[in-house]
């Protein structure tokens, strides 16, 4: 029996997504032509992404363990990351470009070593409690394998140590019954996929599709070695000019720069996701899905889900500190755009890889239930005013490793169809 609970024909969500898709498609055609050397190939790629909304999509087999099309259908199974053995990445050029100057000394001192062990111990306990709460809510929880990330490795192009398997959202993107492994852009995350292979192989043997995007060499040519960042002002100026630490030498992307709304998938060009990576994903998912590039007033773009987070059909959180340049497309399509309140996380709490806006990096268990930080009372009230019940969990120490609830998870199965 198929269980239907997604963007249904004629619903406000479907109409809104279709409108945004058509508008963004027109706006970005010129950009794609300028970005790629072969304008004819780029235009053909854009045209190939057109899709008939009345087309009947082949249903995912009922016994397939993987099926998720959006961020809000009822959550049935999820991968939750691990903080065990997490190591500080070496202070390479791409890490420097994605972190703030106040933390550079920390990376220079501890790169290749464990994160502070007492802090890590508390983070591990918080994530275990989060897993227990998810199970109590009826969600099946899977975990990656624990790995020693301090081991040094070497390829023909670079050498590094690893980082962690804490953020499955960064490396895995589920579209329908397909798991897509992202190629990543940090050298310290080159072999991160190894922690997830046992659980992914199990899903594959049980019927899921499994795709690994082209693995970049991460040679020096992928990065601007002299990327000029000394202040927030530098970052704002460079981001406004569309200049990032990653070049177009080869495709690269983190899965967390993509966010799903049925047939429409939104992405940002960031420090870790380049235009070639976006184009690879666009061609790979065409013609059934439309991939649209958004941009933001963000000095340090890396992962979209603490900047724009879709929490329901026609309902989106938009970070007031990082306004979306295309937000009018959502509003004209009838979407409700909600500006979340300022986060409460103290200034003295270490955030080595992220901003305080992890408060909006929430996980929807369904349209009416959300997992939210127990310390963030203002955003709890915001959700309650929207008619959404809050499941309060404290992961403050886990936040320090660079993610909120959305980052720490990858939803494998949600009850619904395309």
Is residue 238 within 8 Å of 244, Cβ to Cβ? yes
**Catalytic-residue membership of 64:** no
Which of 67, 87, 407, 410 does the annotation list as catalytic? 407
| Dihedral in degrees, nearest 10, Cα atoms 175, 181, 186, 187 | 180
For residue 253, give both structure tokens.
Answer: 């992307």
Compute the distance between CA of residue 200 and CA of residue 193 in angstroms, rounded to an integer: 10
Per-residue b or e along 196-209, where b marks 16 or more CB atoms closer than 10 Å to that residue's CB: beebbeebeeeebb
What's the full length of the chain, in residues? 418
Which of 49, 131, 170, 254 does the annotation list as catalytic? 254
**Catalytic-residue membership of 292:** no
Quote the distance between the C-alpha of residue 262 and its chain's center: 16
**Catalytic-residue membership of 53:** no
Is residue 65 within 8 Å of 206, Cβ to Cβ? yes
For residue 295, give both structure tokens.
Answer: 């941009």
CB-hemisphere CA count at 13 Å for 97? 24
Compute the distance between CA of residue 269 and CA of residue 403 in angstroms, rounded to an integer: 19
Which of 18, 292, 303, 397 does the annotation list as catalytic? 303
Compute the distance between CA of residue 23 and CA of residue 17 in angstroms, rounded to an integer: 10
Compute the distance between CA of residue 357 and CA of residue 345 in angstroms, rounded to an integer: 9
Positions marked catalytic:
254, 303, 407
């Amino acid at each position: 029996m198929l269980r239907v609970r997604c963007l249904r024909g004629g619903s406000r969500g479907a109409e809104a997504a279709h409108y945004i898709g058509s508008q963004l498609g027109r706006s970005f055609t010129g950009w794609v032509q300028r970005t790629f050397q072969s304008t004819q190939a780029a235009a053909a790629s854009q045209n190939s992404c057109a899709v008939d909304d009345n087309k009947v999509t082949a249903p995912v087999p009922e016994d397939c363990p993987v099926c998720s099309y959006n961020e809000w259908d009822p959550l049935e199974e999820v991968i939750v990351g691990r903080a065990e053995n997490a190591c500080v990445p070496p202070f390479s050029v791409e890490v420097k470009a994605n972190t703030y100057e106040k933390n550079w000394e920390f990376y220079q001192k501890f790169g290749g070593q464990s994160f502070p062990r007492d802090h890590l111990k508390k983070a591990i306990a918080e994530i275990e409690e989060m897993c227990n709460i998810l199970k109590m809510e009826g969600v099946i929880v899977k975990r990656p394998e624990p790995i020693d990330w301090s081991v040094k490795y070497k390829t023909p192009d670079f050498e590094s140590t690893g980082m962690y398997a804490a953020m499955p959202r960064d490396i895995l993107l589920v579209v329908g019954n397909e798991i897509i492994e992202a190629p990543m852009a940090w050298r310290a995350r080159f072999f991160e996929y190894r922690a997830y292979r046992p659980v992914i192989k199990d899903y594959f043997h049980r019927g899921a599709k499994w795709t690994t995007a082209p693995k970049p060499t991460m040679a020096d040519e992928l990065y601007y070695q002299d990327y000029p960042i000394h202040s927030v002002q530098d970052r704002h100026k460079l981001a406004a000019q569309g200049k990032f630490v990653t070049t177009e030498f080869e495709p690269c992307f983190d899965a967390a720069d993509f966010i799903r709304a049925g047939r429409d998938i939104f992405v940002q060009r960031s420090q870790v996701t380049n235009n070639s990576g976006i184009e690879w994903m666009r061609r790979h998912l065409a013609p059934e899905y439309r991939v649209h590039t958004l941009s933001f007033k963000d000095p340090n773009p890396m992962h979209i889900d603490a900047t724009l987070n879709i929490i329901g059909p026609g309902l989106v959180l938009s970070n007031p500190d990082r306004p979306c340049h295309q937000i009018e497309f959502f509003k004209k399509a009838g979407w409700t755009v909600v500006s979340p309140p300022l986060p409460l996380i103290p200034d003295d709490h270490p955030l080595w890889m992220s901003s305080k806006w992890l408060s909006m990096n929430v996980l929807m268990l369904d349209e009416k239930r959300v997992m939210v930080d127990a310390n963030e009372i203002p955003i709890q009230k915001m959700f309650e005013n929207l008619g959404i019940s809050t499941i309060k969990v404290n992961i403050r120490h886990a936040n320090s490793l660079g993610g909120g609830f959305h980052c720490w998870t990858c939803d494998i199965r949600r009850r619904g169809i395309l």
